[in-house]
A and B are shown apart, each in its own frame.
Chain A
Amino acid sequence: MSRKVKEIIIKNIFLLFALISIVILGLIILFLFMEGVPIFTVVSVKDFLFGTEWCPTYDPPEFGIWSLIVGSFVVTIFASIIAVPLGVLSAIYIAEIAPPLIKEIFKPVVELLAGLPSVVLGFFGMAVLAPWMQETFDLPTGLNIVNASFLLALMAVPTISSISEDALYSVPQEFKEASYALGATRVETIVRVIVPSALSGISTAVILGMARAIGETMVVLMVAGGATAIPESIFDSVRPMPASIAAEMGEAPFRSYHYHALFATGIVLFFLTLGFNLIADYVSHKFKEVGSATL
């Protein structure tokens, strides 16, 4: 075998390995549909998505996941309200303001926060925050939207912070120098020049942070309370989609309609986060900075 042929074979073997991520994504979709689609023989897609009654163990059962979808969005939105300012501002702090020594310490701290297992945060929410909240605000339960959103925010902060930070670093030095030369102060340069230039990266960071929050399981499973109703106040319990899947899969009889309904919930969750990721990918490529020549 000539050396050239051998090289081509090796290259194509590596191509096969590189395709594995795509193959796995395909398999995930395939198996979610295989186990999820049978539910649509007893309930229409519309009734499944927008039905407000989730009573899979009643006779007859009701499979409407609207309250679960609302639950997911509510905790994600409240988590973002906390996490976006914290994440972006801390990124600005690391990239532009912190003295070198503090930066050396603070960056790993944010990374450690990213590495904290979610079950540990969930445990903290259950054992510490919930009783405290219940007593302080005189609530029927401390396992509610506020508690879950706060912990989800902690999980989203590292994602938002580190990706925003990369975006801030990639702003060309000339921009800063030009701004200073015009007499702008440091803060004016940050707010009017650096942040706008990094906006596509910061947007990507926010979208990915939200994707992380909406797909997070253990925190909402342990801390969101689990009520399957449309919430009326921020101190109500909710049952986001991942919590519903995790809590009920163990009890759902194998290949019952309940089991299929949970897989179908997984389909909704999967495509929701896939959408978030594709939007993030689009934003980061469409508005990508390619050096100072682009402006």
Chain B
Amino acid sequence: MQRRQFIMLGLGAGVGLSLGLTLYPVLQSSTQQRSDAATLVLDALLPALLQGALPAEAAAQQAALRRSRDAVLQFLPFLPRRQQAELQQLFLLLQQRLGQLALLGHWLSLNEMPLQSRLQLLSSWRDSYLATLQQAYHGLRELLYGAYYGQPQHWPALKYQPLEFNPYV
């Protein structure tokens, strides 16, 4: 096993066990900390998950990522409070551990972490024996793809042209 793969598995298992054991991070965190954690994690995962879908031009790509992240954050309050707490907990733990991972992997920040490493992390959750990690993979994946493909700016690639009886404002 390569060193990086090992780190990824360790990260996954750590998050999984923490999720299974305690809500401590959520209870101890402020609203701002929770919001920052969600933003950081979404900003780290969206570019990886959306590889191949994002526009090529840099400014358009950044705009698409920002729109998707904002759409996730706006959607979260509609989930049951139980699920919101679980996601906040996941974001806080990932924030901490992604930071550690960046250091262990000798990247100065998350932004420098290769997209392939981030995808590898998600794949390790999908294939984990821990139900919590599989839930995290599927839950985040649905949220992030739903947020991206909910935006009309991203429909030309699909050639999806819906009728519009009432404009969305």
Chain A bound to chain B = no
